[in-house]
Amino acid sequence: MPKKTLTIEFKRECAELVIIHGYKHKDAAAAMIVGLSSIQR
């Protein structure tokens, strides 16, 4: 199975959830429907 590449927009939106909205990494991953390891990269 090929590895998915994450777009700049996706990464920015994840970062905003954590930095601006105060989400925990786990909650941001759930909101974006991705695994926790995708958020922590």
List the domain boundaries for the chain: 8-39
Element (H, E) at 8: helix 8-19
Q: Is 4 helix (H, G, I), strand (E, B) or coil?
A: coil
Q: What is the pLDDT of residue 4?
A: 73
Q: Is 80 exceeded by the pLDDT of residue 32? A: yes
Closest C-alpha among 9, 18, 19 to residue 36: 18
Does residue 22 have a pLDDT over 70? yes
Q: What is the pLDDT of residue 1?
A: 57
Which pLDDT score is estimated for 30? 95
